[in-house]
A and B are shown apart, each in its own frame.
Chain A
Amino acid sequence: MNAHGAMAFALFATVSLTGSARADDALFHDLGDRPGIAKIVDDATANILSDDRIKATFDNTNIDRFKGLLTDQLCVVAGGPCVYKGRNMHEAHKGLHLTDRDFDAVVEDLQKGMDEAGVPFATQNRLLARLAPMHRDVVTR
């Protein structure tokens, strides 16, 4: 590698590193930090609890605790400085026999919540892209 090559590599490495360091919490900020995420969770939870497809699943749920946990979880998923102390997704949904339709109902309620919170569509998709793989732990039938 000649001097130019080495310099170019160093520059590329620097750009990549700073790029990824900045990207880490970019989504967290784009969602409006923790207050923004808390608002999304409030709106999404209200939608879920009035959604005939899925609301029965939450009959025995402590809603305030659920909202707190979901806010923590979305904060962590978005790269924010939070700690999620709840169960993992597999444990949390074991025995609920949730279907694709249930999963998508919650996705739609969350999308609607993000609409209500004024989150742009492309930003919504960046969050959903990180949540979508949870499908395999949540949908058990």
Chain B
Amino acid sequence: MDDAWRMASAAILGIAACWGCPAFADDTPAPPSVLDSIMSAFDEGKLLATGGVSNIEGAGGGGLATWALITGYGTHDGFGVDAHATYVTLPDYALTSWGVAAGLWDRVELSYARQSFDTENVGAKLGLGHGYTFDQDIVGAKVKIVGDAIFEQDSWLPQIALGAQYKHNDRDAIIHAIGGKSDEGVDYYVAASKLFLEESVLVDATVRATRANQFGILGFGGDRDSGYSPEFEGSAAYLVSRKFAIGAEYRTKPDNLGIAQEDDAWDVFAAYFICKNLSLTVAYVDLGNIVIANGQHGLYLSLQAGL
């Protein structure tokens, strides 16, 4: 219930921030001031939706996949910042995430996210206690290397970015008890994103080197396999209108722990870009088996507000 309240208040704040905000910034001329010159660095110059949304790890992307696009609406000459709140309700668990991210010169992305994974009844069954929660901090950095997903419509070269995510989990003892090797790890990824504007389709393919169990919520490495493995994540989205996109994603994950099989994840999503300051993503996500509970699928809700 707590989470529902948190989501609701975030939604109200976001709607307040967006009140009267136009999809096209020219509709609201403001008198110049010192604050304006500072704020003008947050130029909101990129086209609507071209910063993507905040994904499950706080990076610019879709829901499960991380994209090569730089978060926010700052152009080559400016900055963009955004905050997100995400809530995933599963049959036996709940995952919440909130975080902040910045896009610098449409080149560099820095992000922080905090995930809380509530084990609800499973926690009691495992003897951890009802509602036992794993918390994880994720600090991410992404750099655009080559290409432009949006403008270079005459080229097949996608926008390509390299990134890393440092993840630290607060449940070291439990992680070791279930066969995990560490409570911290670093993921490295290369992401390629391309807008096929002629077809109104955005495609992303990302390869991630990771040791993470369930995104890192259950630690890193395991009794079955403790090294890095290359994993795939990808998205395809169809732009229905300037404000509305629908799509699907798939993400493979390592299977390091002997205690439980870890499945691939997928989702279908709809993202509504109310304006450059506010977007709402709704998805149906399937994470498969998580420890002793099969069929973990449910509703994914994410709100992003930014400058």
Chain A interface (Cβ < 8 Å from any Cβ of B): 47, 50-53, 99-101, 104-105, 107-109, 111-112, 121-122, 125-126, 128-130, 132-133, 135-136, 139, 141
Q: A104-B47, A126-B197, A132-B150 are in contact. List 6 more A-B contacts (CB 8 A).
A: A52-B26, A53-B26, A101-B77, A101-B78, A128-B153, A135-B148
The answer to whether A100 touches B106, judged by C-beta atoms less than 8 angstroms apart, is yes
* A133 to B242 CA separation, bound complex (whole angstroms): 19
A95 to chain B, nearest CB (A): 18
A131 to chain B, nearest CB (A): 8
Complex contacts, A122 vs chain B, CB 8 Å: 200
Q: List 13 A-B contacts (CB under 8 A).
A: A50-B26, A51-B26, A52-B29, A100-B75, A100-B76, A104-B45, A104-B47, A108-B24, A109-B26, A128-B153, A130-B153, A133-B151, A141-B77
A85 to chain B, nearest CB (A): 23
The answer to whether A126 touches B29, judged by C-beta atoms less than 8 angstroms apart, is no
**Could you say which of B26, B77, B151 contacts A135, with CB atoms under 8 Å apart?**
B151
* A139 to B78 CA separation, bound complex (whole angstroms): 15
* A28 to B148 CA separation, bound complex (whole angstroms): 27
The answer to whether B153 touches A133, judged by C-beta atoms less than 8 angstroms apart, is yes
Chain B interface (Cβ < 8 Å from any Cβ of A): 23-26, 29, 43, 45-47, 75-78, 106, 148, 150-155, 197-200, 239-242
* A126 to B198 CA separation, bound complex (whole angstroms): 4
Nearest opposing residue in chain A for B78, CB measure? A101
* A86 to B15 CA separation, bound complex (whole angstroms): 45
Complex contacts, A50 vs chain B, CB 8 Å: 26
A93 to chain B, nearest CB (A): 15
The answer to whether A125 touches B75, judged by C-beta atoms less than 8 angstroms apart, is no
In this complex, the member of A99, A108, A135, A139 whose beta carbon has the largest number of chain B beta carbons within 10 angstroms is A108
Complex contacts, B153 vs chain A, CB 8 Å: 128-130, 132-133
**Could you say which of A99, A109, A121, A136 contacts B241, with CB atoms under 8 Å apart?**
A121
Complex contacts, A132 vs chain B, CB 8 Å: 150-154, 197
The answer to whether B26 touches A125, judged by C-beta atoms less than 8 angstroms apart, is no
A19 to chain B, nearest CB (A): 15
A31 to chain B, nearest CB (A): 14
The answer to whether B26 touches A121, judged by C-beta atoms less than 8 angstroms apart, is no
Nearest opposing residue in chain A for B44, CB measure? A101
Known: A99-B76, A121-B239, A129-B153. A105 touches B198 (CB 8 A): no
A94 to chain B, nearest CB (A): 19
Complex contacts, A105 vs chain B, CB 8 Å: 26, 45
Complex contacts, A104 vs chain B, CB 8 Å: 45-47, 75
**Could you say which of A47, A51, A129, A135 contacts B198, with CB atoms under 8 Å apart?**
A129
**Could you say which of A51, A99, A100, A129 contacts B197, with CB atoms under 8 Å apart?**
A129
Known: A101-B45, A105-B26. A133 touches B152 (CB 8 A): yes
Closest 5 pairs between A and B when the two form their complex, measured CB to CB: A101-B45, A100-B75, A129-B197, A135-B151, A51-B26
B149 to chain A, nearest CB (A): 11
Nearest opposing residue in chain A for B29, CB measure? A52
The answer to whether A53 touches B25, judged by C-beta atoms less than 8 angstroms apart, is yes
Complex contacts, A47 vs chain B, CB 8 Å: 26
